[in-house]
């Protein structure tokens, strides 16, 4: 991958409207900061190469290089990425039952990883009022307080960068697909720093079809409900096709078609639904509220899941073929839409420093032959 | 006691042009002097303030130039001699009242002194105030050297009183700020009594009410004003300050005024053209004396106009030449229109020499070419590239750091409407190129008020205006009132550095003292803004995090005009200069230098001159000599390498 600096990052990503606000460029230096869901370059940095560009998942993303680095195998464009095993899961008896978004698998894994000292801290997404914010926890009990989906992008990785700068290692990260890709790029030491060591011990990916632009989402809701009264937000599986906003008293529903208008452009370029560059990936299980889908991708992910299950933190079951096929169908469609979007805008293997994605011709063809062009799918 | 009130025979002092103006006014028995600070005029009022008690003067720094002119006019209406002083831009501000004053007439002698700034050395434009004399139909005088500056003022007061009209006196930077020997004349007694008479008939110039014009009847006042101007023109024919040096029938006649007359004389001497070229130096430049000019125009076939900024003499003399064509015969004119004299920027003797050497065919090589080449080479090699910059420890640098940061974080392409003061420099890298408009005093707020109302046309960029404490009183208040009344959602960042800092800490209505240093009621800017109806926040610009947070919140509010007052004294103010609050050092091991993660943000972006980039060691250093220990750069450093220790 060709590395550039902040000038190209600003041009190719931020100004181009492709920033997903993941926070990978923040807290590395004084130039980039996040404010209310948006990443901004405060002042110009003219270095020719920089970590900001190297970590950014929205420019010069080379899935093949990442796959070879993480999984020691080439990237072939298959819908779910590299999969060691795939399960139905939910939090086990060792984890206090509470208001999880669905099965509580993510909370259970982070909780277990902290308790078993596999990780010494975890970077999650918390909430400041209505604003999703990065949050770093070190005590297992604190994990369970962050357990709800946020739906709007958060600069979670800024907390990872901060922790790394402070010298923390053995960190766990809960990441959306774009964030997981950024973490993978970071772990590959793209600046070839001789003193670099991988600061992560566990990357848990979250399934994601799209996120919402925080500022637009907030403005949308602010016109319709009292923001301080929001307790939980959910998008139930099809055929509901609504966004549910649970208030202190009662619930409001908004058609997803209205909500989709609030999706940032960055998400249209994202080929990854299942966080393919994580150790394990977790999503909802369609048709079974209270259950998750869990994909295990790496050896260290596998070890963690096995032990979490053995010690009662996690319950696993086999994923029925029907669910697996549906998941693959949805993931393949997202991939295909993103590839077409990138290609149409010249950002597939395009100009150096401006292209979103680098994929071989064969991989592109394989992706385009998978799934069906459809827009009705979300999870 | 100031030497400006020395008395006795044969006293001579080296005076700045601005001091010569003051001595001249004192010799003329001036009673009231007012002004608004502005380079190059500020020393006039400052010098008056130093002799105010001894000479029983009333002196003030007024809120703006229009008010200054009005205050001085009141003295004139009450029979006293007065002077109001401003830079060229101030004449624009005062011009509304001046047009009326020219029409109503004056009683005691009144001078409006304008110090123009050709080349805009300390201005945002090189506006030409001479044209105002024509527009306002008032007499204009331009002294040509330091002695004459002093001597012409009593003459100007007599003129003003004889005609009952305000007289404009124009200086320029090189006359106001350069110095020359001036022989003093006697000072008059100090007795003066003010009384405004208004019981006489409506149009009686000495005893009636003083009004500018009777609606729909311009004849009595405007007609009378033109009569006055005609009388002035006649007096100017024999004015002792219009002088000619040179042969009776010069091959080339230079027509010039003000400081350019010195450049012209110098050029003639250097080229040895005393027998071929004459210099007609005019002190009475509006209205021009036609007989005097016709006489001189008839003596030559070639005329060169040497004047700065607008071709004012050139245009007006050409009109006289056209009117007296039969007497002067065929004449060729050279000047700005022919390209012999540049039409922008200051002139200097070299420019005049170059014009003369072309016109008189006298070769002149000011500097040998090999010397010029070598000098340029050395200058390029050894003089560091330096941009225009805020001073070390300037609160504006910190303020714009936060403003820029807040606008970037806001991410809606917000911008700043600049205003007049040191903070105008924020159009350049020293203020992170944040100011995107810059016009006259108070205009930032007015323009911002307008931008704020463009939401109905889809404009959603947040708008910030900046102004200083003195500018706020001068002209930003009406714009803020406008914005508040019309619910224009802009944010005024009011950078209160406790004085009219750019021109040298002159007091303003928000100051606790007046021009003489006596206690004066200080108007509370915060309370004013609150009572006007603005949402007001206050912050210390040196507290970067708090300032930016407040600013971002204000930017997000769409409800009407907001004011953020950033209070911190100017780095050059006595209170800041007297002591260093911290000891600032750099931990070289922690400094990230040019590496990813910093890339010299302190020396490359923040750019305080107190920070030095050590090229050899590749780390930042503090220049202890000029560092004011404001304590801001430690908060800029991402590595915690700049350390501040409180000095006990």
Q: Which of B404, B552, B601 sits opposite A30 (nearest CB)?
A: B601
Contact of A3 with chain B, judged by CB distance below 8 Å, is answered with no
Query: Do residues B76 and B109 make contact, with C-beta atoms less than 8 angstroms apart?
Result: yes
Query: Do residues A156 and A147 make contact, with C-beta atoms less than 8 angstroms apart?
Result: no
pLDDT on residue B194: 97
Q: Which of B410, B596, B638 sits opposite A50 (nearest CB)?
A: B596
Q: Is the pLDDT of residue B250 over 70?
A: yes
What is the per-residue pLDDT across B28-80, written as a single tens digit (0 to 9) for each? 999 999 999 999 999 999 999 999 999 999 999 999 999 999 999 999 999 99
Q: Is the pLDDT of residue A320 over 90?
A: yes
- Alpha carbons within 13 angstroms on the beta-carbon side of residue A141 total 0
Q: How far is the C-alpha of B410 from the C-alpha of A29, rounded, in Å?
A: 19
Q: What are the E-state strand segments in B508-625?
A: 535-539, 562-567, 582-586, 611-614, 619-622
Query: Do residues A292 and A71 make contact, with C-beta atoms less than 8 angstroms apart?
Result: no
Q: Is the pLDDT of residue A373 over 50?
A: no
Q: Are strands B302-306 and B252-257 parallel, antiparallel or unpaired?
A: parallel
- Chain A hits for B636, CB-CB cut-off 8 Å, are 30
Q: Which residues contact B258 (CB under 8 A, 6 or more apart)?
A: B142, B143, B144, B170, B171, B172, B175, B307, B308
Q: How far is the C-alpha of B556 from the C-alpha of A207, rounded, in Å?
A: 33
- The helix or strand, by DSSP H or E, that contains position B634, with its residue range, turns out to be helix B633-636
Contact of B405 with chain A, judged by CB distance below 8 Å, is answered with yes
Q: How far is the C-alpha of B566 from the C-alpha of B540, rounded, in Å?
A: 5
Q: Is the pLDDT of residue B203 over 90?
A: no
Q: Is the pLDDT of residue A125 over 70?
A: yes
Which of B405, B462, B545, B596 should we substitute to test contact with A (largest number of A Cβ atoms within 10 Å)? B596
Mean pLDDT of B189-194: 89
State whether the Cα torsion B47-B50-B51-B56 is positive or negative.
positive
Question: What residue of A is the nearest CA neighbor of B601?
Answer: A30
Q: What count of other Cβ atoms lies within 10 Å of the Cβ of residue B485?
A: 13
Query: Do residues A56 and A23 make contact, with C-beta atoms less than 8 angstroms apart?
Result: no
Q: Is the pLDDT of residue B200 over 70?
A: yes
Answer yes or no: do A40 and B411 touch at CB < 8 A.
Answer: yes
Q: Which of B405, B411, B596 sits opposite A51 (nearest CB)?
A: B596
Residue A148: pLDDT band (50, 70, 90) is low
Q: Quick one: what percent of chain A has pLDDT higher than 70?
A: 95
Mean pLDDT of B449-477: 96
- Chain B hits for A49, CB-CB cut-off 8 Å, are 596
Q: How far is the C-alpha of B95 from the C-alpha of B159, rounded, in Å?
A: 21
Stretch among B514-523, B536-545, B576-585 having the lowest mean pLDDT: B576-585
Q: Give the number of beta-carbon pairs within 8 Å between A and B.
A: 50
Q: How far is the C-alpha of B621 from the C-alpha of B616, rounded, in Å?
A: 12
Q: What are the E-state strand segments in B514-568?
A: 535-539, 562-567
Mean pLDDT of B98-123: 96
- Chain B hits for A33, CB-CB cut-off 8 Å, are 405, 408-409
Query: Do residues B566 and B395 make contact, with C-beta atoms less than 8 angstroms apart?
Result: yes
* Torsion angle defined by CA atoms of residues B219, B319, B152 and B267, in that order, rounded to the nearest 10 degrees: 170
- Alpha carbons within 13 angstroms on the beta-carbon side of residue B530 total 9
Q: Is the pLDDT of residue A31 over 80?
A: yes
Question: What residue of B is the nearest CA neighbor of A30?
Answer: B638
Mean pLDDT of A174-194: 96
Identify the burial level of B188 via C-beta atoms within 10 angstroms of its C-beta, where 0-12 means exposed, 13-18 middle and 19 or more buried.
middle
Query: Do residues A106 and A208 make contact, with C-beta atoms less than 8 angstroms apart?
Result: no
Answer yes or no: do B405 and A45 touch at CB < 8 A.
Answer: no
In sequence order, the β-bridge partners of residue A206 are A282
More confident residue, B491 or B367: B491
Question: What residue of B is the nearest CA neighbor of A17?
Answer: B411
Mean pLDDT of chain A, nearest integer: 92
Q: What are the E-state strand segments in chain A?
A: 32-35, 38-41, 85-91, 121-128, 131-137, 171-175, 200-206, 230-234, 242-247, 251-255, 280-284, 292-296, 314-318
Q: Is the pLDDT of residue B82 over 50?
A: yes
Q: Which of B432, B552, B597 sits opposite A43 (nearest CB)?
A: B432
Q: Which of B552, B597, B636 sits opposite A29 (nearest CB)?
A: B597
pLDDT on residue A372: 62
DSSP string, B18-71: HHHHHHHHHHTT--EEEE---TTTTHHHHHHHHHHHHHT-EEEE-SSHHHHHHH
- Alpha carbons within 13 angstroms on the beta-carbon side of residue A270 total 29
Answer yes or no: do B409 and A42 touch at CB < 8 A.
Answer: yes
Contact of A42 with chain B, judged by CB distance below 8 Å, is answered with yes
Using DSSP's 3-state secondary structure scheme, residue B521 falls into coil
Answer yes or no: do B638 and A49 touch at CB < 8 A.
Answer: no
Stretch among A10-24, B375-389, B464-478 having the lowest mean pLDDT: B375-389
pLDDT on residue B506: 94
- Chain A hits for B601, CB-CB cut-off 8 Å, are 29-31, 43
Lookup: tokens for B354: 């170059």
Answer yes or no: do A43 and B404 touch at CB < 8 A.
Answer: yes
Answer yes or no: do B596 and A46 touch at CB < 8 A.
Answer: no
DSSP string, A271-283: --SS-TTSSEEEE
CA distance B140 to chain A (A): 50
CA distances from B281 to B258, B522, B633 (A): 8, 47, 55
- The helix or strand, by DSSP H or E, that contains position B182, with its residue range, turns out to be strand B179-183
Answer yes or no: do A30 and B598 touch at CB < 8 A.
Answer: yes
Mean pLDDT of B462-475: 97
Residue A378: pLDDT band (50, 70, 90) is very low
Q: How far is the C-alpha of B90 from the C-alpha of B86, rounded, in Å?
A: 5
Q: How far is the C-alpha of A306 from the C-alpha of B189, rounded, in Å?
A: 106
Q: Is the pLDDT of residue B366 over 90?
A: no
- Chain B hits for A40, CB-CB cut-off 8 Å, are 408-411
- CA angle B611–B615–B618, rounded 5-degree value: 85
Answer yes or no: do A30 and B638 touch at CB < 8 A.
Answer: yes
If contacts are CB pairs under 8 Å, which of residues 51-70 in chain A contact chain B? 51
- Chain B hits for A42, CB-CB cut-off 8 Å, are 404-405, 408-409
Answer yes or no: do B605 and A44 touch at CB < 8 A.
Answer: yes
Contact of B555 with chain A, judged by CB distance below 8 Å, is answered with no
Q: How far is the C-alpha of A61 from the C-alpha of B70, rounded, in Å?
A: 69
Q: What does the DSSP 8-state code read for residue A132? A: E
Euclidean distance between the first and the last CA atom of chain B, given in angstroms as a whole number: 39
What secondary structure, in 3-state letters, does B267-287 show?
HHHHHCCCCCEEEEEECEEEC
In sequence order, the β-bridge partners of residue B110 are B82
pLDDT on residue A101: 67
CA distance A38 to chain B (A): 7
pLDDT on residue A374: 44
CA distance A49 to chain B (A): 8
- Alpha carbons within 13 angstroms on the beta-carbon side of residue B127 total 18
pLDDT on residue A343: 95
Q: How far is the C-alpha of B138 from the C-alpha of B204, rounded, in Å?
A: 20
Q: How far is the C-alpha of A170 from the C-alpha of A121, rounded, in Å?
A: 7
- Chain B hits for A35, CB-CB cut-off 8 Å, are 409-411, 552
pLDDT on residue B383: 86
Q: Quick one: what percent of chain B has pLDDT higher than 70?
A: 100
Answer yes or no: do B599 and A191 touch at CB < 8 A.
Answer: no
Question: What residue of A is the nearest CA neighbor of B411?
Answer: A40
Residue A284: pLDDT band (50, 70, 90) is confident
More confident residue, B576 or B139: B139
Which of B97, B120, B113 lies closest to B22, judged by CA?
A: B113
Lookup: tokens for B11: 């006293």
Using DSSP's 3-state secondary structure scheme, residue B315 falls into helix
Question: What residue of A is the nearest CA neighbor of B407?
Answer: A42
Answer yes or no: do B409 and A33 touch at CB < 8 A.
Answer: yes
Answer yes or no: do B410 and A42 touch at CB < 8 A.
Answer: no
Question: What residue of B is the nearest CA neighbor of A215?
Answer: B410
Which residue do the tokens 């006007």 mark?
A: B532
Which of A179, A171, A172, A170 lies closest to A150, judged by CA?
A: A179
Q: Quick one: what percent of chain A has pLDDT higher than 90?
A: 81
Q: Quick one: what percent of chain B has pLDDT higher than 90?
A: 91
Residue B172: pLDDT band (50, 70, 90) is very high
Residue A100: pLDDT band (50, 70, 90) is low
Q: How far is the C-alpha of B130 from the C-alpha of B139, rounded, in Å?
A: 10
Q: What count of other Cβ atoms lies within 10 Å of the Cβ of residue B203?
A: 13
Using DSSP's 3-state secondary structure scheme, residue A267 falls into helix
pLDDT on residue B175: 97
Q: Is the pLDDT of residue A323 over 60?
A: yes
Contact of A46 with chain B, judged by CB distance below 8 Å, is answered with yes
CA distance A329 to chain B (A): 37
Residues in chain A: 379
Contact of B593 with chain A, judged by CB distance below 8 Å, is answered with no
Mean pLDDT of B305-334: 96
What is the per-residue pLDDT across B287-302, written as a single tens digit (0 to 9) for each? 999 999 999 999 999 9
């Amino acid at each position: 991958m060709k590395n550039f600096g902040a000038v190209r990052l600003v041009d190719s990503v931020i100004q181009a409207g492709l920033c997903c606000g993941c926070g990978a460029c923040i807290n590395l230096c004084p130039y980039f900061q996040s404010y209310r869901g948006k990443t901004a370059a405060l002042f110009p940095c003219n270095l020719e190469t920089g970590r900001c560009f190297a970590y950014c998942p929205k420019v010069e993303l080379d899935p093949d290089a990442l796959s070879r680095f993480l999984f020691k195998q080439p990237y072939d464009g298959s819908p779910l990425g590299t999969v060691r095993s795939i399960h139905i899961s939910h939090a086990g008896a060792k984890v206090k039952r509470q208001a999880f978004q669905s099965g509580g698998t993510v909370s259970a894994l982070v909780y277990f990883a902290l308790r078993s000292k596999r990780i010494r801290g975890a970077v999650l997404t918390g909430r400041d009022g209505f604003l999703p914010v990065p949050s770093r926890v070190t005590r297992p009990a604190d994990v369970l307080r962050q357990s709800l989906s946020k739906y709007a992008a958060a600069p979670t990785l800024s907390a990872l960068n901060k922790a790394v700068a402070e010298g923390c290692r053995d960190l766990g990260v809960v990441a959306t697909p774009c964030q997981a890709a950024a973490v993978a790029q970071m772990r590959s030491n793209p600046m070839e720093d001789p003193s670099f060591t991988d600061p992560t011990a566990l990357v848990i990916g979250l399934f994601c079809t799209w996120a919402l632009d925080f500022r637009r989402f907030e403005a949308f809701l602010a016109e319709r409900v009292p923001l301080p009264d929001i307790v939980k937000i959910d998008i139930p599986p099809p055929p509901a096709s609504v966004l549910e906003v649970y208030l202190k008293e009662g619930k409001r529903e908004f058609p997803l078609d209205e909500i989709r208008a609030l999706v940032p452009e960055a998400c249209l370029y994202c080929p990854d639904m299942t966080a393919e560059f994580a150790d394990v990936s977790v999503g909802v299980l369609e048709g079974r509220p209270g259950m998750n889908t869990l994909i295990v991708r790496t050896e260290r992910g596998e070890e963690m899941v096995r032990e979490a299950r053995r010690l009662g933190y996690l319950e696993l079951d086999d994923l029925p073929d029907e669910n697996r096929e549906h998941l693959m169908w949805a993931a393949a469609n997202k991939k295909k839409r993103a590839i077409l979007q990138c290609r149409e805008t010249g950002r597939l293997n395009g100009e150096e420093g401006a292209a979103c994605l680098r994929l071989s011709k064969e991989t592109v063809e394989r992706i385009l032959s998978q799934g069906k062009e459809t827009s009705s799918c979300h999870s | 006691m100031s030497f400006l009130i020395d008395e006795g025979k044969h006293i001579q002092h080296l005076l700045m042009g601005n001091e010569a103006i003051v001595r001249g006014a004192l010799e003329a028995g001036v009673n009231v002097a007012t002004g608004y600070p502005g380079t190059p005029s500020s020393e006039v009022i400052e010098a008056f303030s130093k002799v105010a008690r001894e000479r029983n003067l009333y002196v003030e720094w007024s809120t703006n130039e229009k008010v200054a002119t009005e205050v001085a006019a009141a003295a004139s209406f009450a029979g006293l001699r007065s002077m109001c002083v401003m830079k060229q831009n101030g004449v624009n501000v005062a011009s509304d009242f001046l047009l009326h004053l020219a029409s109503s007439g004056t009683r005691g002698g009144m001078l409006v002194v304008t110090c123009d700034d050709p080349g805009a050395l300390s201005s945002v434009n090189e506006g030409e105030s001479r044209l105002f004399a024509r527009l306002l139909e008032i007499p204009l005088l331009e002294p040509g050297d330091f002695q004459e500056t002093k001597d012409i003022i009593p003459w100007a007061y007599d003129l003003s009183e004889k005609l009952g009209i305000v007289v404009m006196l124009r200086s320029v930077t090189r006359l106001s700020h350069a110095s020359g020997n001036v022989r003093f004349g006697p000072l008059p007694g100090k007795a003066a009594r003010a009384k405004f008479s208004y019981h006489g008939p409506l149009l009686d110039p000495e005893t009636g009410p003083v009004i500018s014009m009777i609606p729909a009847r311009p004849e009595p006042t405007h007609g009378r004003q033109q009569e006055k101007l005609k009388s002035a023109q006649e007096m100017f024919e024999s004015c002792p300050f219009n002088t000619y040096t040179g042969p009776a029938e010069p091959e080339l006649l230079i027509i010039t005024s003000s400081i350019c007359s010195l450049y012209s004389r110098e050029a003639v001497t250097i080229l040895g053209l005393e027998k071929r070229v004459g210099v007609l130096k005019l002190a009475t430049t509006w209205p021009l004396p036609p007989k005097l000019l016709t006489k001189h125009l008839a003596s030559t076939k070639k005329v060169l106009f040497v004047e700065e900024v607008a071709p004012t003499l050139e245009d007006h003399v050409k009109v006289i030449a056209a009117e007296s064509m039969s007497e002067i015969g065929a004449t060729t004119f050279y000047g700005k229109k022919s390209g012999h004299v540049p039409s922008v920027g200051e002139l200097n003797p070299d420019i005049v020499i170059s014009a003369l050497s072309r016109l008189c065919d006298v070769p002149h090589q000011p500097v040998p070419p090999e010397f010029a080449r070598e000098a340029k080479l050395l200058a390029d090699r050894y003089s560091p590239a330096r941009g225009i910059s805020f001073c070390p420890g300037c609160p504006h640098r910190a303020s714009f750091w936060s403003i820029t940061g807040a606008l970037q974080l806001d991410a809606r392409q917000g911008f700043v409407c600049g205003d007049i003061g040191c903070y105008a420099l924020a159009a350049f890298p020293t203020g992170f190129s944040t100011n995107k408009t810059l016009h006259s005093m108070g205009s930032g707020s007015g323009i911002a008020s307008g931008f704020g109302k463009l939401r109905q046309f889809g404009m959603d960029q947040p708008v910030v205006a900046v102004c200083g404490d003195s500018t706020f009183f001068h002209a930003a208040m009406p714009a803020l009132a406008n914005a508040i009344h019309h619910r224009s959602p802009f944010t005024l960042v009011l950078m209160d550095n406790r004085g009219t800092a750019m021109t040298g800490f002159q007091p303003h209505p928000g100051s606790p003292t007046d021009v003489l240093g006596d206690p004066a009621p200080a108007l509370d800017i915060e309370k004013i803004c609150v009572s006007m109806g603005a949402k007001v926040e206050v912050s210390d610009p040196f507290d970067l995090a708090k300032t930016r947070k407040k600013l971002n919140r204000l930017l997000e509010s769409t409800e009407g005009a907001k004011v953020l007052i950033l209070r911190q004294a100017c780095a050059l103010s006595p209170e800041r200069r007297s002591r260093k609050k911290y000891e600032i050092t750099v931990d070289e091991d922690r400094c990230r230098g040019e590496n990813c993660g910093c890339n010299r943000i302190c020396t490359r972006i923040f750019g305080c001159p107190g920070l030095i980039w050590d090229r050899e060691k590749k780390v930042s250093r503090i220049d202890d000599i000029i560092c004011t220990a404001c304590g801001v750069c430690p908060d800029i450093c991402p590595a915690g390498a700049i350390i501040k220790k409180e000095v006990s």
